[in-house]
Amino acid sequence: MSDKTMSAEEVVGRLESGMTIGIGGWGSRRKPMALVRALLRSGITDLTVVSYGGPDVGMLAAAGRIRKLVAAFATLDSIPLEPHYRSARESGALELMEIDEAMFMWGLHAAANRLPFIPVRAGLGSDVMRVNAGLRTVTSPYEDASTGLQETVVAMPALRMDAALVHVNRADRFGNGQYLGPDPYFDDLFCEAADTAYVSCERIVDTAELTKEAAPQTLLIKRHSVTGVVEAPSGAHFTSCAPDYDRDEDFQRLYATTPWPEFAERFLHGGEKDYQSAVQTWHTLDEER
């Protein structure tokens, strides 16, 4: 078995401008923020980002890296509206494929199953059809048993991606990823729907360690769908990574209320270690206040 451990910089070194990149987690929950920060340090731009959007979308949009976004929403959860996403939209800075969150899920399923589309009862009757002129419908070849009708539904296209970035609690060196919180979100699907997938984790452990205390159902991501593994403690900060840590609400509030250039200058000027220590310093100063 091959050792897939690498640094966040090495992950970003394998990405290119113009790619379609999927980002796991949900809203402000278990986002691969260390990988997003590495992406921000690189010159990579012109991205198509596929995400159940949170601060990943906000930061990449604020930095002008997103050409097109595929999303159903962008939110910080405890702060309902993502401020940088909001200003990007209001200034017309990015192209948007706005779809329903279930349509999004089926798009991932279609891609993971190498299908061109999945028929879904969603979107029709709503303006999702108006703002996505490319969405097509498909008529069932079967008559419904009770109505006799051949139903016409939306053909949700596969959301195939060049690369997926996800963050989990534990992983081994070979790419087996484990989540220990209450929700897997869609991280396994992101990995399966992408040509390459990079998993960051709080801690890399021996394979045998994974199931010593946790149930086998926590082994969400399988190594055959993973290209690289990055050990990134606090790698989801400031989003939540239960049970390792909760969302850093104070810091998230700072992020949401600080003009982007000022925030980037103060926290994103250096590497990941610099980021984590700048956060520590801010917390210490904040407590003294």
Partner 1 sequence: MSEVRSSEVLSDVTRAEYCVIACAEAWRDNGEVLASPMGAVPSVGARLARLTFAPDLLLTDGEAMLVGPDGTVEGWLPYRQHLAMVTGGRRHVMMGASQIDRFGNQNISCIGDWERPARQLLGVRGAPVNTLNNPVSYWVPRHSTRVFVEKVDMICGVGYDSAAAAGPTVSRYHSIPRVVSNIGVFDFATPDRSMRLASLHPGVTVEEVREATGFELTVPEEVPYTRGPTGEELELIREVLDPQGLRNREVRS
The site for partner 1 (CB under 8 A) is made up of 26, 53, 71-75, 80-81, 85-86, 89-92, 98-103, 105, 120-128, 130-131, 147, 149, 151-153, 182-186
Name which of 77 and 209 has its Cβ closer to partner 1: 77
Name which of 27 and 175 has its Cβ closer to partner 1: 27
Q: 80: exposed, middle or buried (C-beta count within 10 Å: 0-12, 13-18, 19+)?
A: exposed
Give CA–CA dist 226/143, Å, rounded.
Answer: 41
Taking Cα atoms as reference points, which of 34, 16, 37, 49 lies closest to residue 167? 34
Least distance to partner 1 from the beta carbon of 92, Å? 4
Give CA–CA dist 286/95, Å, rounded.
Answer: 38
Contact status, residue 247 vs residue 238, Cβ threshold 8 Å: yes
Encoding tokens for residue 110?
């279609």
- Identify any residues that bridge with 288 across adjacent strands, giving them in sequence order: none
Name which of 101 and 286 has its Cβ closer to partner 1: 101
Q: Computed from CA positions of residues 183, 256, 42, 74, in that sequence, does the dihedral angle turn out positive or negative?
A: positive
- Angle, CA of 179, 183 and 187, to the nearest 5°: 65
- Angle, CA of 6, 12 and 14, to the nearest 5°: 85
